[in-house]
Amino acid sequence: MDHTEDLQRINDALDAAVVVFEAFTPGDVESTFKSGDDPLTQADLMVDDVLRRVLPRDGEGWLSEETVDSTDRLARSRVWIVDPIDGTREFVQGIPEWCISIGLIVDGQAVAGGVHNPATGERITGAIGHGVKYSGKGDVVGGTCLTDATVGASRSELKRGEWDPFTHCVSNIVPTGSVAYKLALVAAGRLDATWTLCPKNEWDLAGGAALLAAAGAWGVLKDGSPPTWNNEDPLVPGFIATTAALRDEVSALLL
């Protein structure tokens, strides 16, 4: 299937969303809390509005972290799953590891996606059959085993000790915010692997999962099964992503 038009729409949406951040200074942003310690800013809501105006067409579904969910999407073949800001905590704290994440789902499969980090200017877009395009200055990695791989890990998971069991075999664990950003960096060859073994939502993962599929990388649920998207319950138990070169070793470690 040709996704040229879908990729154009993704780029148009990212272009429009980036403009929103001209009115904000990361690290000096007012925020409230949706629940617990989950922050929300006016930028989240503004980007959500922009994405919803640009992306879905008649007959297409919508799932966003910042939009009240509707079961109407379950009857749609094509569904956009977005996170207006994945890594809002980093955005509020001024840590340059947050992004806009867009994923296009067709019949339950992530087929096209885009992730843009306004703090660094990096943009990763891609679709099945089109490969992945990276615009940015990140260094290319190329680990062939876990001892020489660059692996991205959530700061909060590191603080909770969830990565302690892996330090004996992974020598270069890099604290990195935003799971969508980390998945996109794996797809773009700027990280060798990343995983989260705690629950996430589909909007955290769908854009990055589409990029992994476009790159021919490995992206699976924490039990090793292939993901399907646009489920009634958007909670995902965990996710694993690696380059093809590390698939067997990461699988042996985690599954």
Per-residue confidence (pLDDT) for residue 216, from 0 to 100: 98
Global pTM?
0.98
Number of domains, the chain = 2
Rounded mean pLDDT for each run of 10 residues along the chain, 255 residues in total: 98 99 98 88 99 98 98 99 98 98 99 99 99 94 94 97 96 97 98 98 99 99 98 99 98 97
* pLDDT number for residue 34: 86
Q: Which of 135, 161, 186 is the last residue of a domain?
A: 135
Q: CA dist 4 to 10, 110, 137, 255, Å?
A: 10, 15, 25, 36
Instruction: Specify the pairing of strand 200-201 against strand 193-196.
Output: unpaired
Q: What is the CA radius of gyration of the chain?
A: 17
The reply to whether 63 and 164 lie within a common domain is no
pLDDT at position 147 is: 95
Residues 70 and 130 in one domain: yes
Q: Which domain holds residue 165?
A: 146-254
Q: Are strands 235-236 and 78-86 parallel, antiparallel or unpaired?
A: unpaired
Q: Are strands 61-64 and 78-86 parallel, antiparallel or unpaired?
A: parallel
Q: Do both 193 and 71 map to the same domain?
A: no
